[in-house]
Amino acid sequence: MLPNQRREKILDLLKEDGSAKVVDLAKLFKVTEVTIRQDLEKLEAEDLIVKEHGGAYIKNVEDQVKSFSLVHQENLDKKAAIGEKCLEFIESGDTIILDSGSTTTEIAKKIKSSGLKNLTVITNALNIALMLGTATDIEVIMTGGEFKPPTLSLTGQKAADFFKGLNVQKLFLATAGISLKSGLTYPSISDIVVKKAMIDAAEVAYLVADSTKIGKSALASLGALGLIDYIITDAGIKEKHLSVFKENEVEIILAK
């Protein structure tokens, strides 16, 4: 991995987890601690992070938590269209899992104003829980786990263990990147066990991702595209990517 690629992955990880230690980053990227410190110094010089003794943290994370705003706010028009499309696959009386993320937050917004009745929503996202928790016809259930400030989510083994023994009708799963080689990818390793547990608990798995994420790769791989049943994306998806999903027997649903 080239230095600029490594720094990009480090920044993605910090945007996901909020902070990281030098020693952990060195093990993760298989480089020396000196190299990681140099990477962090460069990222700090670009005003992207703040270094601290033994590690670093993302800038403005405290303000983001206080305002309950997510880091990833790009392509919101595409994400809103995907959220609207997802309503076609949710019925009154359903029990669903809503993963954390900006696209699933758009789904939650659409659900809140949809008029759906007797809906049960299981989520690891604090912002989604607060958004839907006041709706009289929606029961919200939260996982446990470790708190990640930038994504307002709960993660780790405790979050994953929550899904053991559950049988849920539908999962709406987020992703950071869909690699044609590595499959579903995420910036944080701690999320992998949670996503896998969500998939195992659901009868049907819908991957929700705007077209800009297709063909990109994040740090950690969850597994092949065959883990999901459907992908709901926007009309900007490239023709070459359409064929890859079809080859992996993943049905594509386009939000107009």
Write the DSSP assignment of 175-223 as a string of letters.
-SEEETTTEEEES-THHHHHHHHHHHHEEEEEEE--GGGBT---SEEEE
Closest-CA residue to 218 (of 77, 80, 101, 124): 101
User: Residue 215 corresponds to which tokens in the numbers above?
Assistant: 């063909």
Whether residue 99 sits in one domain with residue 196: yes
Per-residue confidence (pLDDT) for residue 157, from 0 to 100: 96
Per-residue confidence (pLDDT) for residue 116, from 0 to 100: 94
Whether residue 242 sits in one domain with residue 196: yes
Per-residue confidence (pLDDT) for residue 208, from 0 to 100: 97
Which domain, by its residues, includes 55? 3-59
Whether residue 234 sits in one domain with residue 112: yes
Separation between Cα atoms, residue 149 and residue 17, nearest integer Å: 7
**Domain presence at residue 48:** yes
Whether residue 86 sits in one domain with residue 54: no
**Domain presence at residue 71:** no
**Domain presence at residue 126:** yes
pTM over 0.85: yes
Report the half-sphere exposure of 223 (CA within 13 A, side-chain side): 13
Separation between Cα atoms, residue 137 and residue 9, nearest integer Å: 41
Separation between Cα atoms, residue 15 and residue 149, nearest integer Å: 9
Whether residue 153 sits in one domain with residue 84: yes
Per-residue confidence (pLDDT) for residue 17, from 0 to 100: 84
Mean pLDDT per 10-residue interval, the chain, length 256 residues: 88 86 90 93 90 87 69 81 96 97 96 94 96 93 93 94 96 92 89 96 96 89 92 91 84 92
**Domain presence at residue 69:** no
Per-residue confidence (pLDDT) for residue 62, from 0 to 100: 75
Whether residue 84 sits in one domain with residue 27: no
Whether residue 164 sits in one domain with residue 84: yes
Q: How many domains does the chain have?
A: 2
Q: DSSP string covering 151-172, please?
A: TTEEESHHHHHTTTT--EEEEE
Per-residue confidence (pLDDT) for residue 106, from 0 to 100: 96
What value does the CA radius of gyration of the chain take, rounded to a whole number of Å?
A: 18
